[in-house]
Structures are given as C-alpha cells and as structure tokens.
Copies of this chain bind each other. A is one copy, B any other.
Amino acid sequence: MAIFDAVQQLKSTMGDQISTSASDLALHGQSESHFPTMAPDAVAYPRCTQDVAQIVAICAQHHCPLIGFGVGTSLEAQTSAARGGVTVDFRDMAQVLDVSQDDMYARVQPGITREALNADLRATGLMFPVDPGANATLGGMASTRASGTTAVRYGTMRDNVLGLEVVTADGQIIRTGTRARKSAAGYDLTGLMVGAEGTLGLITELTLRLHGQPEATAAAICAFDDMDSAVNAVTATIQSGVPMARIEFVDGATALAFNAYAGAQMPAKPHLLVEFHGSPTAVKEQSETFGAIVEDFGGADFQWAVQAEDRSKLWAMRHNAYYAILASRPGARAVVTDLCVPMSNLAQAVEDTRADIAKSPIPGPILGHVGDGNFHAILLIEPGNTAEKDAALALSQRMVERALSMGGTVTGEHGVGLGKLPYMEAEHGAAWGLMGQIKRALDPHNIMNPGKLVGGN
C-alpha cells in the first residue's frame, strides 16, 4: 500500500523525525473549528529544507499525500489529512534566519509564529504587522493568505511576502522573488504560492517585508447604538482618506463575551476598535478627524488607550475574540463564516446576516475587519446536535450566497480548506478550472494536500 510503504521508508530513513504515535496523529488531524478529525498516517518533523526535500521525494515516489502543518489554527480544515498521508510539522524549523534593518526584510523559517517573530524584531524598530486572531505560524499564514486587523493599512500576506523557498511536488527546491522591493521578471510565483494552502508545494523559507514601528500610536474604543451607525462610520472614515492602521467592529454579543472572558466593561452594544499610526502630529490629526466622524454617527463612550500597556490589552482581547466567543457557550464548537464584500455593501451585508441569525435557533456573534469589508459570524453549536449544525451550515450558505450576489468573496482571509471548497465554482466559474490546470501541471500525482482547493482531486 502506497502510504504504508512511504511511511516505512520515511521511518527507516529519518528515524525519530517520523512519528506514528496515536496521540500525535490525532492531534494533527484535529480542526480548530467544527470539522471532524481526519488524522494522517504519520507526522514528519523536518529540521531543514533538505529534510523536507527528502520527505517529499520519498512520498512522491509512493504517491503518498503530504500536508503542511504550523500550529493547526486554520479554520477551514486546511491541515486535515483528508486522504491520509504524511503531515509535515514545521515545529523544528522556527528560526529567524536574517533581519535586514536597511532593507526592511526578515528571512524566516515557516514554523515561527507571528508573536515570536515580532518579539525577535522588537529591538530593531521594525515589525511584521499581519495579525490573524491566532498566534499562527508564518508558513501557515502565507499558505492561507491570512490577514487580520492591520490589513486596512499594511495589506495581507499577499502584500508582505517578498519571496519564498518552496519544495515542489517532485522534491525540487525552488526560490521565488528577490530582496528588491519590486520586480517585473515573469510570473509572480510568490503570489501563486501565497494562498495555495500547500497544494502546490511546501514553503520552507519566507522573506517578509517589514515595516517601521510607528513613531506614535493611538488606539480607542467607542460604542454605537446600532450596527448600521458603526459600519457607516467606518465607510465614512475610509472615504475621508484617514489612514487608519486598524478599524475593527464587534457586536453587542461579542462585547459581552469580552466582559466575561477578558474582564472588559463594555455595554452590550456594537463597538468600533481603532488604531492610528504615524508621527505624533499625524496621529493627533487622524484621531481628531475620526472623533468628529464618530460623533456624526452617534458614537459614545469614547475611550482612548493612551498607554502601550492599555493598547496591548485592547488588541489581545480582540485577537482572542474567537476564544472569548467560544467560551460564551460552554462546550460549543464553532462554524466560522468569513464574508468579504465591497464597502458599499457592508452595512447591508452585516444587517442581513444579523437578521438571519436572529431568526435561527443558535447564537452567532458578529465581528470583523470592517475597513476591508470583511466580517465573521461565529456560529456556536452543541457538538453532536445535528439540528444546530444544519442550522449553522444553512446560515453559512446564505451568507456565502449574499457575499457572491454583492460582488464579494466567500472567504476574505480564512481560505478554502474543506469548508469553502463547495463554493469555489460559484465564486470563480471557469477560472476555477484554470486553478485545476495549474494544480495538475505542478502536482501531477496529486500528493500536495489532496482533496483541497481545486476540483477533481
């Protein structure tokens, strides 16, 4: 049997870098959200790019599936072993290899987390701003084209990866991109690999664009009487040209979850959480402009987080929103939705989603990166309760259809995995076929994360 043979050969070649312990397999087959466990047949722990190339070469020989793994925080079952095979866990490839202050880049291994990277960068005056809720690895963030609260200012992983080292499906090591800030030299392979969810190769190194730590920072939180006012305040701020670093929306249910989980003292109302970066003068001006806009939309209880410590607390609370909301219904699992629509449709999309959830039997707090038109409903279901799961999936499907009918996308930042696979054709039409052609060209034996992203695999 192909997978069995591959695992045997990996074990005899790489010894204790290959694990088949039941607990390891189960751990790597789990999903952060509602998907059932789909365990691999083995877990490999490479220590360097050559290790990865060897693992891939052996698996390629046996047509054995390979799944990349960071810390397993993806939300659409990207790391589930849908066809079994070997999970490649980058735990032991988590170093910062090189930081250039002059050229503002860092070369890192895929297993380092965003928080570990930023801790490492602290003294350099530079930072890597992309921040999905979880403390994900950079390899995982690149693979799922992650974004987060700062995309409105600094862009997503698409905009912040300068180059990659990748082991392709035939075990070859390639490098994409350069250390220059731009290039017009052929197909953008970096951009193709970012968001490919490991279906075209395994990322073994990333060159990341860094940004200067802002000279001054101001953050604030502000309550609104209704969702519409909060969302419309965002649209107005974007259109005013104020360069926000962050602008986040949370609904009343999320505010209550923050109170319970993080000791916040927020009224059960929709809130905006914002941050401005720049020179002290610029930040002051931006804050004042924003304050005036918020007043127009009835924003109240404006609280500025002046101290760095208060700001850290504010954003830690926001980053842990998923866990806070999960805790608001003890024992629950979540179906997480991830709409992204044009800004002009945002208020309507949020309002329709809220109304839908209100009519359903399950709770679903709403929050999101509203400066990008991106928001999530965290639909909380009781494990094993089929009626609730059906209700959640029906709500999710309606939201997906809503996003598409508004010219948006079925996933702003969580990616495709298994959860959004059924909607790829609806979003892309014939272009989805092109994705399949690319996949088959670069991975003819369909060993790289099979069963994900493209059709017919």
Contacts and interface: CB of A to CB of B under 8 A. Distances in A.
A388 to B, nearest CB: 26
A38 B454 CA distance: 40
Interface in A345-382: 372-374
A290 to B, nearest CB: 13
Nearest to A279: B285
Interface in A416-436: 416, 420, 424, 427-435
A183 interface: yes
A184 interface: yes
A212 interface: yes
Interface string A92-112: 000000001011110000000
A342 interface: yes
Given A179-B342, A437-B441, A102 B235 contact: yes
A314 interface: no
Nearest to A152: B181
Given A189-B434, A434-B189, A342 B184 contact: no
Interface stretch (A10-18, A29-37, A267-275, A402-410): A402-410
A77 to B, nearest CB: 14
Contact of A192 (B102, B175, B192): B192
Contacts of A178: 340, 407-409, 427
A249 to B, nearest CB: 15
A301 interface: no
The number of times this chain is found in the oligomer is 2
Interface stretch (A40-48, A80-88, A166-174, A258-266): A166-174
Contacts of A175: 428-429, 431
Interface residues of A, number: 87
Given A440-B441, A442-B438, A428 B185 contact: yes
B416 A186 contact: yes
B188 A158 contact: yes
Contacts of A176: 428, 431
A187 B415 CA distance: 10
Contact of A174 (B159, B215, B410, B434): B434
Interface in A249-301: 278-279, 281-282, 285
Nearest to A241: B212
A344 interface: yes
A100 B189 contact: no
Contact of A343 (B103, B344, B431): B103
Given A181-B343, A187-B438, 19 more contacts: A102-B344, A156-B184, A158-B188, A174-B431, A176-B428, A178-B409, A180-B373, A180-B409, A182-B412, A183-B409, A183-B411, A184-B195, A184-B411, A185-B409, A186-B428, A187-B196, A189-B435, A192-B192, A214-B241
23 contacts: A146-B184, A155-B159, A158-B191, A173-B430, A178-B427, A179-B408, A180-B340, A180-B342, A181-B340, A182-B409, A183-B411, A184-B338, A185-B409, A185-B420, A186-B195, A187-B200, A187-B438, A188-B194, A192-B192, A214-B241, A241-B279, A279-B285, A441-B441
Nearest 4 pairs between A and B by C-beta?
A441-B441, A191-B191, A102-B344, A183-B409
